[in-house]
Amino acid sequence: METRSDLPIENAVIRAIKERRSIYRFAPESVSEEKIHTVLEAGRWAPSWGNTQPWKFIVVKDAARRQEIYDIVKSTLMGHVGIEGAPVLIAICVNPKKDPYHFLEDGAVATQNMALAAHSLQLASYWIGIFDAKNAKNSVENRVKKALNVPQGLRVVAVLPIGLPGYEKSMGRRWLREITYYDRYGKTSS
């Protein structure tokens, strides 16, 4: 696992990408409106196919509504650890009619932008993917849609808990040479 930087160029964006980690426990403090707005702006500026911008974001701060989302996610997914402590949840919704071929990627990129922005603001987050490819009636996605009153035609890609980190976490990555090929799969040099 790679832990050192061997990048020829290092800047704030690269550092945020390399340092961001999924944090599952949050400190009890609230998150300022300014920081929430900044995270949302990062999602708004995400790239999308043909600049369709097929997303809508739902900021959930109400304690009862957050608890409802926690209960839905907790009862059906393994990735719920610590969600109860997050003072803010952001649901990332997309409109498949605006972009029937790329809406899922567009929502994923917006989610990633928000996670990186949160990290750059010293906030913690982790990605809870709830999109259900089969769009089953009682799926986590459809239960979250109902709880948040999301219109029928929209899909929910992810829920992003956000708050101050409750702990620090670091992890390495595989070496670039282990995952990179040139011109065709399996060719390890250019």
Query: Is residue 3 assigned to a domain?
Result: no
Burial status of residue 157 (CB atoms within 10 A of its CB: 0-12, 13-18, 19 or more): buried
Position 183 in a domain:
no
Residue 189 lies in a domain: no
Q: Residues of the chain whose pLDDT is less than 50?
A: 1-3
CATH classification of the domain holding 54:
3.40.109.10
Within the chain, residue ranges assigned H as helices are 12-19, 33-44, 63-76, 103-120, 140-147
Distance CA 56, CA 189 (A): 42
Is 4 a domain residue? no
Average predicted confidence (pLDDT) for the chain:
90
pLDDT score of 12? 87
Is 129 within the bounds of a domain?
yes
- Residue 78: its pLDDT value, please? 61
Range of the domain at 110: 12-178
pLDDT of residue 10: 83
Burial degree of 184 (CB within 10 A; 0-12, 13-18, 19+): exposed
> Cβ–Cβ contacts within 10 Å for residue 149, how many?
7
Note every long-range contact of 37-41, with CB atoms under 8 Å and residues 24 or more positions apart, other chains counting. Answer: 38/117, 38/121, 39/90, 39/114, 39/117, 39/118, 39/121, 39/123, 39/162, 40/90, 40/114, 41/117
For residues 40 and 81, give the distance between their C-alpha atoms in angstroms, rounded to a whole number. 24
Q: What is the pLDDT of residue 130?
A: 93
The predicted pLDDT at position 1 comes to: 46
Query: Hunting for tokens 């952001």 — which residue is that?
Result: 90
- Answer whether 37's CB lies under 8 Å from 123's CB: no
What is the Rg, in whole angstroms, of the alpha carbon atoms belonging to the chain? 18
Whether 107 is in a domain gets the answer yes
| Residue 142: predicted pLDDT | 97
- Residue at 188 is within a domain: no
- Number of folded domains in the chain? 1
Residue 190 lies in a domain: no
User: pLDDT at position 172, please?
Assistant: 81
